[in-house]
């Protein structure tokens, strides 16, 4: 009855997050309790060597996700959604969406997965003396400029996916500071783009014939708790094709999946960290100051309220695991055993515990795309073993699980061993942790530290952006985000913490030795496999 009352009175918050393989919507009450969930499955396409989604896919996905959520509310509670307390949109960070003055897409949408920006990223890193990863929006923009692509003459707005959707719904050209930190370097003191670097970029653009200023074509930066516009009539009609949803809903700043992951794990205060493990895998450690040294393997981004944050981001996570699980599912069907996907994942993940601590000498790379941390710009999938390797099903599954954490581990080694970054707690979330205990145990081995998974871990970033939307309208005067989370969201939530097993840590270290040695094989595969 309390849920029905909250829905009827609009005392709710809606978060929608566009992930790599699924768009998810979560409706919560004012205490963060999940009332309903909606889904829409999709997949990126490799078209003309560009990882992309078509605009009609994006639009259909948002509408399909909301429709799924709306139907669940009607079936579960017997009421219709007509008004919502607040809304937030989140999406995969980075990438490149270029629009002209009429709001039309004038170049293919390039996702974070693209690594076709090496020259631009190198030149900007050298200019700024600040790491610009290949997937950052400014690297995509500058590469298009270097390549003299015709559309760059007509640029009016360059934005990430969350900002694009937010503009569709509100008409506002704004972005949350966490997502903005994957567009262009942020000054955590001024809470906007770094003014000195903006000036450097504009001077560089002017020299090669561009008259616009980059700050005019990037979205305005906002922090958590700031108003970011309201759902317009056009936006409401776009989101809810039935026409029942009322306009005028306050919307929080659109955020990236890194920021929403921090919120979903209550990891936004200095000294806290989280690992989001799914299609991509990234570890976020919140800092109280900038790093001492420039590291090309580490992104410097921010929390949704502006604290500096070091990110070890791997483009490749569980995609290859998913492919192998599908293969085993196909075999099971062939021999007359139809097993549900969740049961198949659980069985294979749990069986991996029977494997050797070092994966029996097996080695794999799930590189569907290039990998920034290992400086490899294209993807090749590889499974490797020696005649002496122990080729068992358990070792096969364990090596795929281990390798999905390999690149992230390299970045964390830099932070913890070279920069002496101290972490009070690490929280995990994402699909990697769906099978209870398994992913958490292997993550603890990878970081050699306790790893906590909250009961809400499966709700992920969509829940995180819903909380940011609720924070916009429900926080107390001058209440900070971390205070709001501690008071209103996480005070009663439960979680489970796993300490690292000594044999797991030792086995993972041996695996990492193999992983680093084998990178030469991965590079050779790129040179040789050109079909």
Query: pLDDT tens-digit profile of 157-168?
Result: 999 999 999 999
The C-alpha atoms of residue 422 and residue 311 are separated, in whole angstroms, by: 14
- For the residues 181-204, what does the mean pLDDT come to? 96
Query: pLDDT tens-digit profile of 209-218?
Result: 998 999 999 9
Backbone conformation region of residue 78, classed left if phi is above 0, alpha if psi is from -120 to 50, else beta: left
Share of the chain above pLDDT 90, in %: 80
Q: Are strands 425-429 and 381-384 parallel, antiparallel or unpaired?
A: unpaired
pLDDT in the model for residue 458: 65
The C-alpha atoms of residue 260 and residue 262 are separated, in whole angstroms, by: 5
pLDDT band at 1 (very low <50, low <70, confident <90, very high): confident
Rg of the chain in Å (alpha carbons)? 22
Query: pLDDT tens-digit profile of 449-474?
Result: 899 998 776 677 899 999 999 999 99
| 8-state DSSP, 485 | I
Q: Against a cut of 0.85, is the pTM above it?
A: no
Longest CA–CA span in the chain (Å) reads: 66
The H or E element that residue 513 is part of is helix 502-517
Q: Residue 157, Cα to own-chain centre: how many angstroms?
A: 22
Distances (CA, A) of 47 to 50, 110, 111: 5, 10, 12
| Cβ atoms of residues 514 and 386 within 8 Å | no
Q: Secondary structure of 287-298 in the HEC alphabet? A: CCCCCCCCCCCC
pLDDT-wise least confident of 178-182, 445-449, 470-474, 494-498: 494-498
Q: Enumerate domains of the chain plus CATH numbers.
A: 267-316+408-500 (3.30.420.40), 319-403+503-528 (no CATH)
Is 33 exposed, middle or buried (CB count within 10 Å of its CB: 0-12, 13-18, 19+)? middle
pLDDT in the model for residue 434: 87
End-to-end CA distance of the chain: 59
Phi/psi at 328 (5° precision): -70, -35
Neighbours of 81 (CB within 10 A): 23
| Cβ atoms of residues 279 and 20 within 8 Å | yes
The C-alpha atoms of residue 510 and residue 521 are separated, in whole angstroms, by: 18
pLDDT-wise least confident of 19-28, 105-114, 142-151, 420-429: 420-429
More confident residue, 468 or 296: 468
Please report how the helices 460-474 and 257-264 are oriented relative to each other, as an axis angle in degrees rounded to 10.
80
307 pLDDT more than 70 = yes
DSSP for 490-503, written as a single string: SSS--EEEEPPPHH
pLDDT in the model for residue 290: 82
pLDDT in the model for residue 80: 95
| 8-state DSSP, 230 | B
DSSP for 441-486, written as a single string: HHHHHHHTS-EEEETTGGGHHHHHHHHHHHHHHHPPTT--HHHHII
Per the prediction, the chain carries an average pLDDT of 94
| Count of helix runs (H) and strand runs (E) in the chain | 19, 22
pLDDT in the model for residue 531: 81
pLDDT band at 337 (very low <50, low <70, confident <90, very high): very high
Distances (CA, A) of 356 to 352, 362, 448, 507: 9, 10, 18, 8
Query: pLDDT tens-digit profile of 43-67?
Result: 999 999 999 999 999 999 999 999 9
pLDDT in the model for residue 457: 63
Distances (CA, A) of 94 to 38, 255, 432: 24, 11, 22
The C-alpha atoms of residue 385 and residue 391 are separated, in whole angstroms, by: 8
Which residues have CB under 8 Å from 320's CB, separation 6+?
364, 366, 368, 381, 400, 403, 404
pLDDT band at 491 (very low <50, low <70, confident <90, very high): confident
More confident residue, 416 or 240: 240
| Cβ atoms of residues 298 and 314 within 8 Å | no
pLDDT in the model for residue 412: 93
């Amino acid at each position: 009855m309390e849920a029905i009352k909250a829905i009827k009175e609009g005392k709710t918050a809606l978060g929608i997050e566009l992930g790599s393989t699924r768009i998810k919507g979560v409706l919560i009450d004012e205490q963060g309790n999940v009332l309903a969930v909606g889904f829409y499955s999709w997949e990126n396409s490799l078209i003309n060597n560009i990882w992309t989604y078509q605009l009609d896919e994006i639009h259909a996905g948002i509408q399909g996700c909301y429709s799924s959520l709306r139907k669940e509310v009607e079936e579960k509670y017997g009421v219709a959604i007509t008004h919502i307390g607040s809304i937030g949109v989140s999406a995969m960070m980075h990438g490149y969406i270029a629009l002209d003055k009429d709001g039309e897409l004038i170049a293919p949408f390039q996702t974070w997965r693209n690594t076709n920006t090496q020259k631009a990223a190198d030149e900007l890193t050298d200019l700024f003396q600040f790491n610009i990863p290949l997937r950052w929006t400014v690297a995509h923009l500058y590469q298009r400029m270097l390549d003299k692509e015709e559309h760059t003459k007509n640029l009016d707005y360059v934005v990430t996916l969350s900002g694009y959707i937010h503009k569709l719904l509100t008409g506002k050209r704004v972005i949350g500071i966490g997502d903005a930190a994957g567009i262009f370097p942020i000054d955590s003191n001024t809470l906007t783009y770094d003014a000195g670097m903006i000036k450097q970029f504009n001077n560089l653009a002017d020299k090669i014939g561009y008259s616009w200023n980059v700050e005019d074509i990037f979205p305005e930066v906002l922090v958590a708790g700031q108003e970011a516009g309201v759902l317009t009539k056009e936006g409401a009609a776009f989101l809810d094709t039935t026409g029942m949803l009322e306009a005028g809903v306050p919307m929080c700043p659109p955020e990236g999946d890194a920021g929403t992951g921090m919120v979903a794990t209550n990891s936004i205060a200095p000294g806290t960290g989280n690992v989001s493990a799914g299609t991509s895998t990234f570890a976020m450690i919140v800092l109280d100051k900038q790093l001492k040294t420039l590291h090309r393997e580490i992104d410097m981004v921010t929390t949704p309220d502006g604290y500096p944050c070091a990110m070890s981001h791997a483009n490749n996570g569980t995609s290859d695991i998913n492919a192998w699980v599908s293969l085993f599912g196909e075999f099971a069907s062939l021999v007359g055993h139809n097993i549900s996907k969740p049961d198949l994942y659980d069985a294979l993940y749990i069986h991996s515990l029977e494997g050797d601590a070092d994966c029996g000498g097996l080695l794999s790379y799930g590189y569907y795309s290039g990998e920034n941390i290992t400086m490899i710009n294209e993807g090749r999938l590889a499974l490797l073993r020696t005649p002496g390797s122990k080729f068992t099903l358990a070792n096969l599954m364990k090596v795929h699980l281990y390798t999905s954490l390999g690149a992230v581990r390299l970045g964390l080694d830099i932070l913890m061993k070279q920069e002496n970054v101290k972490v009070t707690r690490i929280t995990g979330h994402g699909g990697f942790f769906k099978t209870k205990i398994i992913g958490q145990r292997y993550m603890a081995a990878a970081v050699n530290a306790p790893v906590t998974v909250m009961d809400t871990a499966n709700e992920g970033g969509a829940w995180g952006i819903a909380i940011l939307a609720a924070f916009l309208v429900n926080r107390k005067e001058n209440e900070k985000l971390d205070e709001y989370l501690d008071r209103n969201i996480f005070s009663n939530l439960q979680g489970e913490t796993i300490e690292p097993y000594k044999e797991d840590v030792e086995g993972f270290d041996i695996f990492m030795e193999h992983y680093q040695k084998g990178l030469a094989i991965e590079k050779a595969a790129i040179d040789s496999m050109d079909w």
